Structure 1
Amino acid sequence: MPDLQETLKITRQVGWGAAKLLRSYYQGTAENYNLEVEYKQNEPITVADKAVSEYILSQLQTAFGHEDFGYISEETYQSQQAKNSAKLVWIIDPLDGTRDFINKTGEYAIHIALVQDTRPILAVVAIPEAEKLYYATKGGGTFVETVNGSQPLKIAGDKPIEDLTLVVSRSHRNERLEYLLKSLPCQNQKAIGSVGCKVTAIVEQEADIYISLSGKSAPKDWDMAAPELILTEAGGKFTHFDGKYLEYNTGDINQWGGLLASSSQDHEILCQKAEQALIEFAASQRN
């Protein structure tokens, strides 16, 4: 096992480099700039996704090699790929929030996580337009880094449940999720783009809860692995509705079911209410 702090130092450098490259595409200054949009399984993909994926993979593989490390990136992953057998696996999303990137909301992110035995032990989430990089190691806390240096982040998590603010997607909405959200005791909502931006908003105490609910498709390992550790090391919680931890590199990259991320002391109550809402919705559809 390599030194985790030295690994983090290198990963932060890679995160900043990736953020600079991605931002050059966002601002239209990249060499050979062309933001033509393709679609893969109904999800948009641009040349920026591919370029940043290649950059991150080449940087990490040069630094760490293949002997002890495996690599799973959204842009290179093959759907038939089985569980990566390496002891340590990098899980990478070079552009989380492609729709927001295309629509110029600024709410896009880069995720880099290192997973050991299905659980993240190191994470970087870069928010290029905010010029911020969030990082965490297992047991080492969460920090935010800017041009002015780094500072630790810790969530208070003591708001009354009725005063909590849900961070929601602009695009991934359906009747089942709407029913669930309306069933919760907190009704304040704030629309934010990528998962990385949603979770860092919770860490920065600008919001309190994020809910993901799979339907015909589900979020993937690379959507959740890095944001999860950033949140939990800051004192938040990120679980399935039944309280189980998320697992990564299991052979199925999909994170099925209901997931709830929060800064709240009432996390378990919120999970129970979300589960109950799904039961009620299913019953209403049968009647």
Structure 2
Amino acid sequence: MLPTIQQVARDAGAKIMAIYATDFEHRTKDDASPVTEADEAAEAIIVPILEKLTPGVAVVAEEAATTGRIPDVGNGPFWLVDPLDGTKEFLKRNGEFTVNIALIENNAPVLGVVYLPALSCLYSGIVGKGAWRQDKDGPETAIAVRPEPADGLTVIGSRSHGDASEMEAFLAPRRIAETVSAGSSLKFCRVAEGAADVYPRLGRTMEWDVAAGHAVLAAAGGTVTLTDGTPFTYAKNPIFENPHFVAWGGVRP
């Protein structure tokens, strides 16, 4: 299925970029987060393809979910879709927004695609098989987390969601060499490819925000845990909201 998922992410990204080039507007949803026509147009491309590809497998997609259209995922596999993750970055026009598509089985991600349409950069992962990055029309290159650096960790945090003081307190026992920022699920991918070592998220997120990045990271040899070190799981019905979590590269949680 991976080539199909990669292609639909690219197709959604092309639509996003067409809107990005216009004088688009945005509105605020009930949860105070922004939404644009690009979010909705991308979701309208992705969801029908997934429904056709895997009949009977539920699709939980952000824009439908925020209007109350959330399917019952039961105990079976299901898709999680964030058609435009990092809408704040989209509005800032900094390029750090992504298309996120992930398949969940047994409450864990098993396949994920993260596409950065402004950068023509595609990250993919199949847990147990490997993770890859492809830039524009270049070759697909395997990626993996790096071992814990002897001189300290590179920590990556959110560009638009401030939780710096909590993050500093959480990481106090660790030796930190550098702290950097990025938008959207790109943070997971930077850990997955060894450009950073840990991504603590001590703020509100939803499952569709993180599942694809989690899949890429897990496929690259990393892990995602709650702040107490216990496993991070999915299908948290009915609203799919996440507790605080930490994404780890080659670092022991």
- Quickly say closer, same or farther: Cα 1:79–1:176, change in 2 above 3 A: farther
3-state secondary structure, aligned to 1:76 = helix
Partner of 2:110: 121
From 81, 85, 96, the equivalent of 1:92 is 81
Structure 1: segments with no counterpart, 5+ residues: 1-6, 29-33, 269-287
2:236 equivalent among 243, 250, 254: 250
1:263 aligns to what?
A: 249
Other-structure match for 2:33:
43
Residues 174, 201 of structure 1: alpha-carbon distance in 2 compared, 3 angstrom cutoff:
closer
Query: What is the CA–CA distance in structure 1 between the aligned matches of 2:70 and 2:61, rounded to whole Å?
Result: 12
Q: In the aligned structure 1, how far is the partner of 2:241 from the partner of 2:232?
A: 11
What corresponds to 2:149 in structure 1?
159
Root mean square deviation of aligned Cα: 2.0
Identity rate, percent: 26
Larger radius of gyration: 1
Corresponding position: 1:23 with 2:13: no
Q: Which residue pairs with 2:91 in the alignment?
A: 102
Aligned length: 248
The farther-off stretch of 173-182 and 12-21 is: 173-182
Alpha-carbon displacement from aligned partner over 1:115-134 (angstroms, at most 9, x marks no partner):
11211111111111221111
Q: How does 1:1-287 map to 2 (within 5 A)?
A: 7-28=1-22, 35-40=24-29, 41-65=31-55, 67=56, 69-77=57-65, 78-79=67-68, 81=70, 83-85=72-74, 87-146=76-135, 147-160=137-150, 162-174=151-163, 176-177=165-166, 179-180=168-169, 183=172, 184-186=174-176, 188-194=178-184, 196-214=185-203, 218-251=204-237, 252-256=239-243, 258-265=244-251, 267-268=252-253
Asked whether the equivalents of residues 154 and 180 of structure 2 are also in contact (C-alpha less than 8 Å), the reply is: yes
Distance in 1 of aligned mates of 2:127 and 2:154 = 27
Deviations 1:139-165 (A, max 9, x none): 1111112312312112222312x5211
Query: Following TM superposition, by how much is the alpha carbon of 1:71 offset from its aligned partner in structure 2, in angstroms?
Result: 0.6
Distance in structure 1 (CA, Å) of the matches to 2:5 and 2:75: 18
In 2: Cα distance, 1:145 partner to 1:171 partner: 26
**What is the alpha-carbon distance in structure 2 between the residues aligned to residue 190 and residue 177 of structure 1?**
16
| Bigger strand share | 2
Deviation at 1:79, TM superposition (A): 4.8
Structure 2 portions without partners, runs of 5+: none
Contact preservation (8 Å) 2:98, 2:115 = yes
Greater share of helix: 1
Cα offset, 1:187, TM superposition: 5.1
TM-score relative to the length of structure 1: 0.80
Distance 1:168 1:86 in 2: 33
CA contact (8 A) 2:111 2:212 kept: yes
The one-character-per-residue Cα deviations of 1:48-98 (angstroms, maximum 9, x if unpaired) are: 000001111122223333x2x001001001458474227221100001100
Q: CA deviation at 1:174?
A: 4.0
Q: CA deviation at 1:247?
A: 1.3
